[in-house]
Chains A and B, each alone.
Chain A
Amino acid sequence: MTSATGQKKRRGGWIKEEFGNAERRTAYYMILPALLIILAIAFFPIMYSVLLSVTSSTITGFGSFVGAENYIEMFQNEDFWEGLKNTLIFTVVSVTIEFIIGLGIALAINRAFRGRGLVRAAVLVPWAFPTVISAVMWRLMFQDQIGVINEVANGIGLISEPILSDTTLLLLGAIFVDVWKTTPFMALLLLAGLQTIPGDIYEAARVDGANVMQRFFRITMPMLKGTILVALLFRTLDAYRVYDLFWVMSGQQLESLSTFVFKSVRVSQLLFAQGNAASVFIFVTAFLIALIFIKVFGMQTGTEE
């Protein structure tokens, strides 16, 4: 510890300083394996994707450089636009609904009451479902022959054709299933945030004559801002990459950005190059979404104590 002083420190900069300290050196050794795994299997392939997207590669061989041709073809492909449109509608609508209902639930159950354990259990059940299995279950209930929801919706005149045969109804169904599955999780995150707000602030505000609405907008919302942004960012990015739910619940009929990539890369390998362009598109736009949350909304990313 005492050796890393004097002239040595001046020349080595921070690298020497960090590695000259036994505790810090140990820390880096402990972090390195996990970081290497992540870098090797996530960052390296994304770079590879970028490279593939500007060549005429196929799944079996590397092709020649073609510039932006794959991107141009992708932007001319109707399926891509269909996927983008569905993904955007799905993301915006489902995250908005989940946030509003989730916040309502969190506010309602942020107190001691009988049956709290039961509610927490009910919250966790949809969350624990594998997405694919929940898609299967809801598909069974949307079925026109045996599905209870299709039957009821038809009975009260809500729908005029079977849910599974209409892409608009399928998209609505997907939004509904996503709201069912992830609203509880949203509520859980927001509830944890609410519980960090000290109760005496409300007490003081009440003494000063603040009413319910004032307390909500002047205390709850500002103090919850950090948690809200984290929850919204998590859910937005998660909804934006939707694949399992669309693929399984719609029986491969509903297009999203992810199903477009999957179909191009795995099903019809003629579209392999376009699929790579779409991969890069998804990656870049997801990155931009995160950036917007951090820069525009001022989300905190630091995790230092």
Chain B
Amino acid sequence: MFQDVFDNYHWETVKNSIYSITESDVLQALQKDKRDLEDFKALISPAAIPHLEKMAELSHHLTQKRFGKTLQMYIPFYLSNECQNICTYCGFSFDNKIKRKTLTEEEILKEAQAIKSLGYDHVLLVTGEAAQTVGVNYLKKAIQLIQPYFSHLAIEVQPLEQDDYRELQSFGLNTVLVYQETYHVKNYKTHHTKGKKSNFYYRLGTPDRIGKSGIHKIGIGVLLGLEDWRTDSFFTALHLDYLQKVYWQTKYTVSFPRLRPAEGFAVPGNELSDKELVQLICAYRILNEEIELSISTRESEKFRDNIIKLGITSISAGSKTNPGGYAVETESLKQFEISDERSPEEISSMIKRQGYEPVWKDWDRVLMNRE
């Protein structure tokens, strides 16, 4: 289990080592053919900032070599905003007195059709954590209903058990995203004060359970801005490195959610600048040629227009972060405010103008395990 690796590291020691990186460490990391986690530290360190152009160039070339001139299109599909967790940064937090909504079967179908009509074939199902209303059985039903419309289904929901993942896969699930939010054990508790999510180690073991279940793709990441992003990103890379070695048949994807204003929440003082986010994205690519790097509509138009050539391989567009947002109940409460509000069509044209092809379909159900 990853905890065995994780327990050998100490937050402050890692943090100090990143902040004491020198320019020569950075130059060495840039010149190498194969890079390790120490090189990743160098690339995300403050000492690498003066070399950002070089990093961007390298990231651009490595990405193009592996993925060509393509960008995968996906869209989130919120099923519910019910949640029993109290998380200080989230609009769905249990203590937020908002109107709760969980889509019925009929509404799920209506939303699925609306999303399909936007051109999408890869969707990401999102819920809060509410065992009574959006437990495993609800997810099973939802996947069964939605599966005929799309080639690729991902979920971003509460951590589940290994057998649940296996079962959901047999219903058509391809990918599971589960973000640790932060690897700072102590402060994790102050951001997640109540509910099942407050159990740090259960969440930490989730990618292991997903890996063992045979799910094809796992997404990990942290909520950038909760704690020191450099230290948190090192731990994310450490987690990824462990997973790649143990679950070697699984694909991996990393996302870069930066804290955004949500209902009843003010951003703490750890946010990273645009420059630092570019640095982080490039560092991941330089470490790992083959992983999928994903960017959401949390980011601004200008940032997204420019980042697609620098390492990102997957992008959402026209997202609604509220259940029913596409057709059923367009005004229900959003999880967070999106920044880039352009339509999928507009994003698609923007991508094409840059000489890239927006890819709507990159999976087929006929390739799935038939057990």
To the question of whether A and B form a pair in one complex, the answer is no
B interface list, Cβ under 8 A from A: none
A interface list, Cβ under 8 A from B: none
